[in-house]
Amino acid sequence: MEPSVRLAQPDDAPRIADIYNAGIAERSSTFETSPRKSADVLDWLAAGERFPVLVAGEGNVIGWARVAAYSERPAYAGVGEVSVFVDPGARGRGVGTALLEAVGREAGELGYWKLTGKLFPENEPSVRLVRRNGWREVGLHLRHGRLEGRWRDVLVMERLLARDGPHQPQAPAPEGGASSPGA
């Protein structure tokens, strides 16, 4: 059975931080090395509906997804950067799929035309997850950052949310911005 997904609430902040901290400790999904606190997550929630945070699980949160700004430039207001983290004990049970599907729907309703993400290429379960869910590989950023003194590459992925066809997304233009990518 697929887990339920909903918008995160302030009471979810401690559990979201716990799940993120497990991912940080594993050193397989993020360049972050410092544990996050509930207050950090509350800052994400305070960013407003334009940057949704979703959680999976009934009662106990077992995963989360977030849309963050891809760029501050108005031309890219319809492009979001996605993060998905699943509790280690809940992996392999459809939580990541449920979160990716829900974050795609939510982002599309908010006028996003594209979602992007960056993955460590050796994180094979995450690479398989996003590919299975309609994401495509765009390229590889070499030496994108250091983690514990070692250069790490990142695989760049994207998912188009176009309503007008697979290569011609159209979304309302933000004030002063372009109505489609490529600007």
CATH number, domain with residue 86: 3.40.630.30
Is 155 inside any structural domain? no
* Residue 62 counted as domain residue: yes
Termini Cα distance of the chain: 42
As for how many domains the chain has, the answer is 1
Any domain includes 180 = no
Tell me the residue range of the domain where 55 lies. Answer: 5-118
- Mean pLDDT calculated for residue range 44-62: 94
Among the listed residues 110, 13, 30, the one whose alpha carbon sits nearest the alpha carbon of residue 64: 13
- Alpha carbons 86 and 96: distance in angstroms, whole number: 7
Residue 11 in any domain: the answer is yes
Tell me which of 31 and 58 has the higher pLDDT. Answer: 31
Residue 51 lies in a domain: yes
Q: For residue 163, what pLDDT is reported?
A: 61
pTM score, whole prediction: 0.87
Q: How many Cβ atoms sit within 10 Å of the Cβ of residue 149?
A: 5
* 103 inside domain: yes
In the sheet where 150-160 sits, what is the strand order?
5-7, 53-56, 63-69, 79-86, 114-119, 150-160, 136-147
Q: Residue 167 above 80 pLDDT? A: no
